[in-house]
Structure 1
Amino acid sequence: MARRRTATVIVLFLTAVLAAVLLPGGLSPSADAARTPHAAATFPGANDRIAYVKVASGGSDIFSVRPNGTGNKRLTQSLDAWHPLWSASGKRIAYERPGEVWVMGANGGDQKKVADGDLVGWMPTGGRVLVVEGLGVTGIDPTWSLVTVSTGAVEDLPIDLPLVAGLGKPPYPDYSEWSYAANPTLSSDGELIALTLRREDYGDDGYSWDFGSFFTVRLDGTDLTRVGKYTYSFGGLAWSPDNDEIAYWASEPRAYCATGLRSLELTGYSGSVSVNRPCSVIDPAWSPNGRKIVYGDDGGGKLRTSNPDGTHVTTVLDHKYGVTRFDPDWRRAP
């Protein structure tokens, strides 16, 4: 079964912001991977370093930096690493390479592969990671598993999503059937997965776009719940440290790119995040103390922090020609 394309607005946006890092033979592996918005959860505590992905002409690697912009350090040298997530202890980082989940120490040492698939998140004890395989395949349920980092032992999870192949054109009768799943992220307490379920929508003129809603589900597959009534939000889901809000990129039908950063409470009401910078801000993540967010700005050219409402903006890393920074994750102080 063919893998579904990412929403058209995401492709257009990230194709533009990554144009400066094209290789002679086309996009680098990391640039291609960057077309899919990633997701994160922040463990509560005191604020510390920020891990992020840097894309340049040679590919993508993971770095970490202090919130004041000092101590910038490269952690991987593989040119194909992305999606860093700190463990609860702050002593390890899980991350992705093409089709694989890896783990390393906070300073980049002891790198090892732990599983095939895509990274969803750390369990709060730090001994296991949640991994998924088969995301984005129309009508086919992804497979979910908890993998023990030290041994590679696997526990399969009984999560069954309402995915249906061959959904016709709308109007759809309700929100009970979808085509594919995307953007999963695990809450910091290890209780819930947030994700988007998506299907195709069509305008009267034949224009089509991805129609999606947020859901949460427990690791035992129960309590699949639609969060809110907003159906065109997408991208970069990020749990708040108290697990009461989910931040995301915001978009509307036919939008060329993301219109800003927003959040939803699990009750479905609008949350505290409101950053209005159309076609500019990407990949939000919360600070461990919940008072700040970090994100890529100017299409990923800058790494910035601000209050959730968009005030008190601080540039952590400024624009550099040919460099894109995205997918940050904020460490809780060990």
Structure 2
Amino acid sequence: MWQRRHWLAAAGGLALTPALPALAQFRVEISGVGATQLPIALLRFRDEASAPQAISPVIRADLERSGLFRFVDTPLQIDETGLPMYADLRSRGADALVAGSATKLVDGRFDVRYKLWDVVKGADQGGQSMAVPPADLRLAAHRIADALYEKLTGEKGVFATRIAYVTKGGGRYTLRIADADGEGGQVALTSPDPIISPAWSPDGKELAYVSFETRKAVVWVQDTSTGARRQVANYKGSNSAPAWSPDGRTLAVTLSMEGGSQLFLLNRDGSQPRRFTQSQAIDTEPVFSPDGKFVYFVSDRGGSPQIYKQAVAGGGAERVTFNGSYNISPAISPDGRTLAFVQRQGGSTFRVMTLDLASGNSQAVSDTSDDESPSFSPNGRFIIYATRAQGREVLMTTTLDGKVKTRLLTSGQDIREPVWGPFGR
């Protein structure tokens, strides 16, 4: 495999700790602006200061990361029951207004409400209310941001979705699950031995990954809510790079049980392995197309690592990438139109690229030089990837055009192998 990292296995036992708070917390830095930004006024929610988690700052940070919104300051102080001062808002250049409240209920939950107004038309655009426990206030804010994003852009938001990633620190590897902004993290698995290649099941209920806890690469699948897990590929040799089919019934994995690294398809329980590629080369890093008809993968059958695709129904492989001598880590957008991948440029620069599969046009979407593991958001508008900045391994998100980037930083730990989860949380 073309692993640009050397994962060194260390001695020791394995601790399974689902649903524990992550130690590292993120802070967000945003660079760039979108080509078109909607001016919006977002008021502080009434009573949010007395809640364990303020609502409006989370909504604002979510919408800012999209690059599609510009926030307008206003002295107006109302909640969802108030009446906007449309003339004043228009004079300040606002096209939309959001206000709300977070009221503590007698049972300890919080009643979170919001309303959206169209300032240009002077019209109430409706809102929502939800009663949530204190631990779900951040999730409630993400869901409000999703609702606003969809109402104002016509596209589904991804702020309430989740990401998974691996951290390394203190001699231990940790598989973590967090909100899409990197906050609210939970520990799924911790081990002194490497954990790599996490992959979400299509329903978001399970994660496949590779663990070296038995001193060899073995593919596991873990329930994200209970922590229960099972081995699905522990064959002779190496077992690596799991990828789910869109219907969740099949896993594509890289196995060396027949000599060399080749792609195999397995049932979701790991049964009935059947060889998918038949080359004498190294074939690895599979990913299914959204319609389930093709598998994209990396192979050096042409002399250097390039991305190919092959029909699940059978037939030969077709080369996809031609620009550059070293292209790895394919990811396919949810609409199947765009391929994200990592390209080596020069001797030691690795950049996240996108390729329009219809036109063949490619472009760099990162401005860093040590990028890894691109993964699309479920609405296809963002890509998350790992990179190195200021001597630390960090996570970045970028809009599909590369114009707006968000840097997610933690202290004290290196972060790698991010993968964005599906809708449906």
The two structures have a TM-score, normalised by structure 2, of 0.57
How far off is 1:108 after superposition?
A: 5.6
Q: 1:91 aligns with which of 183, 201, 205?
A: 205
Q: Which residue of 2 aligns with 1:264?
A: 355
Contact kept in structure 2, 1:96 and 1:118, CA below 8 Å:
yes
1:304 corresponding residue in structure 2? 396
Tell me: CA distance 1:160–1:180, structure 2 relative to 1, closer, same or farther (3 Å).
Answer: same
SS in structure 1 of the partner of residue 163 of structure 2: strand
**Cα distance, 1:142–1:68 mapped onto 2, change above 3 Å:** closer
Name the stretch that deviates more: 97-106 or 286-295: 97-106
**Contact 1:28–1:58 (CA under 8 A) maintained in structure 2:** no
Cα deviation digits, residues 68-109 of structure 1 (max 9, x gap):
232011111234322111111111111111321111112361
Deviation >4 Å, runs of 4+: none
Q: Which residue of 2 aligns with 1:293?
A: 383
Aligned positions, number: 268
Which residue in the other structure is 1:34 paired with?
none
User: How many angstroms does 1:319 deviate by?
Assistant: 4.0
Residue 126 of structure 1 corresponds to 248
Q: Which residue of 2 aligns with 1:36?
A: none
The structure with higher relative contact order (CA 8 Å, sep 6+) is 1
CA distance in 1, matches of 2:183, 2:291: 31
Residue of structure 1 equivalent to 2:327: 234
In the TM superposition, what is the alpha-carbon distance from 1:249 to its structure 2 partner?
1.1
The TM-score, its normalising length taken from structure 1, stands at 0.71
User: For the pair shown, which has the larger CA radius of gyration, 1 or 2?
Assistant: 2
Q: What do residues 263-287 of structure 1 show as CA deviations (whole Å, max 9, x unaligned)?
A: 22334612466223223x3221110
Corresponding position of 1:275: 366
Which protein has the bigger helix share? Answer: 2
* 1:191-235 alpha-carbon deviations (Å, 9 max, x no partner): 21112221696xxxxxxxxx2322101124314111142241323
Q: Would you say the 8 A contact 2:199–2:209 is kept in 1?
A: yes
Q: Distance in 2 between matches of 1:289 and 1:125?
A: 18
Given that 1:101 and 1:114 are in contact with CA atoms closer than 8 Å, whether structure 2 keeps it comes out as: yes
Report the AA paired with residue 91 of structure 1: K
Question: Closer, same or farther in 2 for the Cα pair 1:264/1:136, shift >3 Å?
Answer: farther
- Indicate which of 272, 288, 304 corresponds to 1:154: 272
Q: Which amino acid aligns with 1:131?
A: V
| Aligned residue identity for 2:264 | W
User: Where do residues 244-263 of structure 1 align in structure 2 (5 Å cutoff)?
Assistant: 244-253=337-346, 255-258=347-350, 260-263=351-354
Q: Is this contact kept in 1: 2:377–2:420, CA < 8 A? A: yes
Distance 1:63 1:220 in 2: 35
Q: Is 1:106 matched with 2:224?
A: yes
- Which letter maps to 1:50? I
2:334 is equivalent to residue 214 of structure 1:
no
What residue number does 1:198 align with? 300
1:326 to 2:419 alignment: no
Q: Tell whether the 8 Å contact from 2:221 to 2:230 is kept in structure 1 after alignment.
A: yes
After superposition, where does 1:138-177 map in structure 2 within 5 Å? 140=260, 142=262, 144-149=264-269, 152-161=270-279, 163=280
Q: Are the aligned partners of 1:92 and 1:103 in contact in 2 as well (CA < 8 Å)?
A: yes
Unaligned runs of 5+ in 2: 12-154
Distance in 2 (CA, whole Å) between partners of 1:92 and 1:183 is: 19
Asked if the contact 1:88/1:126 (under 8 Å) is kept, the reply is: yes
Q: Which residue of structure 1 lines up, in the alignment, with residue 287 of structure 2?
A: 185
